[in-house]
């Protein structure tokens, strides 16, 4: 495919408003727009030579060496001033494949993301742990970026981020924001998270809490008087608490429950839902750390957290099903689309039932 031009492909998907690009052997490039996949047939079917050509335009020699050994690698690339891409290259059935997530150059505001106003209030906190959760592609990184940008515009703080790879690139407004990329600026999560306490931060962003070490570090950083944002691949606030506690050895779990109960400030669980008029819109479950919530975490009763959320709407808490139902009730999303994003269909329908 001598006429193939990588820049042309990347510019096209940016102009299309796509969120993702997939490059695999045996198919044309595949894009995701508003959660729906479609093929760019005008580029033709890619063979192994085309996929390898795309990789050769993205990877430097050291990254290529890592990819050859590990068979997968995370990194980021830029399209001039137009966009950045978070990239994962991997092998499937013996062939290389590439998944690219488009990251706009401009960091979006919470208002532009249609996030609940209470997230602005969370940005005023000086310490504690704020977790943003949800499945892959639910907008976790973007929501955190929006909150960091709010802090950047309203406070004068030192913000340190540790990411794999760096996604949104911040421009200093009132804050000093320093961003460290795994394997480019540091060799390991463990070292980076230990070092961050010696770098005089006020706010620490941990790209993902993925294992025992990153979870333990996040708890310690928050416990020492810092505001910590982190993401986690879980489906609800209650599941998030369970995941964190279960990541520690059994003999430490009681202590961790106490520690988490003292530092947690909020857990947000996101879903991006296709909207006929708005592209995609977020549904957001919100758990705020009231005395009742802290007590349930400390006593090992996270299964009761859903009940607290459902009875604390006056405090700003909202269940995922109520958030989805509000989008349906305001004609922002269709009921058929809403049902795809909940495991509690009966609860969703109860919120949608006309009031007598």
CATH number at residue 314: 3.40.50.300
pLDDT at residue 1 in the model: 45
pLDDT on residue 158: 98
In this structure, the answer to whether residues 221 and 87 fall within a common structural domain is no
Domain's final residue, options 104, 126, 157: 104
The answer to whether residue 111 sits within a structural domain is: no
Instruction: Give the residue-averaged pLDDT of 109-119.
Output: 97
Q: Residues 106-124: what's their mean pLDDT? A: 96
Residue 330 within any structural domain of the chain: yes
Per-residue pLDDT, 82: 83
- Tell me which residue has tokens 């975490």: 297
The token duo for 21 is: 């690009």
Query: Do 25 and 128 belong together in one domain?
Result: no
By the 8 A CB rule, do 119 and 111 touch?
Answer: no
Shared domain check, 129 and 85: no
Structure confidence at residue 189 (pLDDT):
92
pLDDT in tens, 50-105: 999 999 999 999 899 999 999 999 999 988 888 899 999 999 999 999 999 999 88
What would the mean pLDDT of 222-244 be, rounded to a whole number?
97
Instruction: Please give the residue range of the domain that contains residue 335.
Output: 118-352
Shared domain for 231 and 123, answered yes or no, is: yes
Last residue of one domain, picked from the residues 79, 104, 129: 104
* H/E stretch holding 106: none
Pick from 267, 261, 306: nearest CA to 288:
267
Kindly indicate the confidence band of residue 355, based on its pLDDT and cuts at 50, 70 and 90. low
Task: State whether 95 and 128 are in the same domain.
Answer: no
* 169 lies in the same domain as 244: yes
Q: Where are the beta strands (DSSP E) in the chain?
A: 20-23, 30-33, 36-39, 72-79, 83-92, 95-104, 128-133, 158-163, 176-181, 203-206, 227-232, 264-275, 279-288
Helix (H/G/I), strand (E/B), else coil: 98: strand
User: Quick check: is 112 in a domain?
Assistant: no
Q: What's the rounded mean pLDDT across residues 173-200?
A: 94
Report CA-CA distances (Å) from 241 to 44, 216, 232, 258, 313.
47, 13, 11, 12, 20
CA–CA separation, 153 and 175 (whole Å):
8
- For the chain, report the end-to-end CA distance as a whole number of angstroms: 64
Q: Under a CB-based contact definition with an 8 Å cutoff, are residues 270 and 113 in contact?
A: no
- Residues 100, 122 within the same domain: no
Among the candidates 104, 139, 156, a domain finishes at 104
- Looking at the structure, tell me whether residues 268 and 342 fall in a common domain: yes
113, part of any domain = no
Please tell me the distance from the alpha carbon of residue 149 to that of residue 154, in angstroms, as a whole number.
Answer: 9
| pLDDT tens digit sequence for 129-186 | 999 999 988 999 999 999 999 999 999 999 999 998 898 999 999 999 999 998 889 9
How do residues 308-349 score in pLDDT, each as one tens digit?
999 999 999 999 999 999 999 999 999 999 999 998 999 999
* Antiparallel, parallel or unpaired: β 72-79 and 83-92: antiparallel
Closest to 157 in 3D by CA, of 110, 108, 201: 201
pLDDT at 104: 84
Total domain count for the chain?
Answer: 2
In a domain, 109, yes or no: no
Q: Is the pLDDT of residue 196 over 60?
A: yes
User: pLDDT (tens digit, 9 = 90+) per residue, 2-46?
Assistant: 456 889 899 999 999 999 999 999 999 999 998 899 999 999 999
Q: How many C-beta atoms surround the C-beta of residue 1 within 10 A?
A: 12
State whether 138 and 279 are in the same domain.
yes
The verdict on 83 and 125 lying in the same domain is: no
Is 278 in the same domain as 187?
Answer: yes
Question: DSSP state, 354?
Answer: P
Do both 165 and 267 map to the same domain? yes
353: Cβ contacts below 8 Å, ≥ 6 apart: none
CATH (domain of 24): 3.30.450.90
């Amino acid at each position: 495919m001598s006429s193939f031009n990588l820049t042309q492909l990347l510019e096209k998907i940016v102009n299309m408003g796509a969120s993702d690009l997939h490059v695999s052997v045996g198919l044309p490039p595949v894009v995701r727009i508003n959660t729906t996949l479609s093929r760019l047939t005008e580029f033709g079917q890619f063979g192994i030579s085309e996929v390898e050509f795309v990789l050769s335009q993205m990877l430097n020699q050291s990254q290529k060496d890592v990819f050859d050994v590990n068979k997968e690698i995370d990194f980021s690339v830029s399209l001039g001033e137009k966009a950045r891409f978070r990239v994962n290259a991997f092998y499937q059935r013996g062939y290389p494949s590439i998944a690219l997530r488009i990251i706009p150059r401009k960091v979006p505001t919470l208002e532009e993301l249609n996030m609940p106003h209470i997230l602005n209030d969370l940005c005023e906190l000086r310490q504690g742990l704020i977790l943003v959760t949800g499945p892959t592609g639910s907008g976790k990184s973007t929501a955190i970026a929006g909150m960091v940008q709010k802090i950047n515009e309203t406070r004068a703080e030192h913000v340190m981020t540790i990411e794999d790879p760096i996604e949104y690139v911040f421009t200093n407004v009132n804050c000093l924001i320093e961003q460290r990329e795994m394997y480019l600026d540091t060799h390991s999560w463990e070292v980076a998270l230990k070092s961050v306490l010696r770098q005089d931060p006020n706010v620490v962003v941990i790209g993902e809490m993925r294992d025992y070490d990153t979870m333990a570090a996040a708890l310690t950083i928050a416990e020492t008087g810092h505001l910590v944002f982190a993401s986690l691949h879980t489906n609800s606030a209650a599941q998030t608490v369970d995941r964190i506690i279960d990541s520690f050895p059994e003999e430490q779990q009681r202590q961790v429950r106490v520690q988490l109960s003292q530092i947690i400030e909020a857990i947000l669980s996101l879903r991006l839902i296709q909207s006929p008029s708005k592209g995609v819109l977020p549904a957001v479950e919100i758990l705020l750390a009231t005395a009742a919530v802290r007590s349930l975490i400390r006593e090992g009763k996270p299964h009761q957290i859903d009940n607290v959320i459902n009875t604390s709407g006056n405090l700003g808490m909202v269940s995922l099903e109520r958030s989805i139902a509000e989008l349906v009730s305001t004609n922002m999303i269709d009921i058929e689309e809403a049902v795809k994003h909940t495991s509690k269909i009966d609860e969703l329908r109860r919120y949608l039932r006309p009031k007598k």
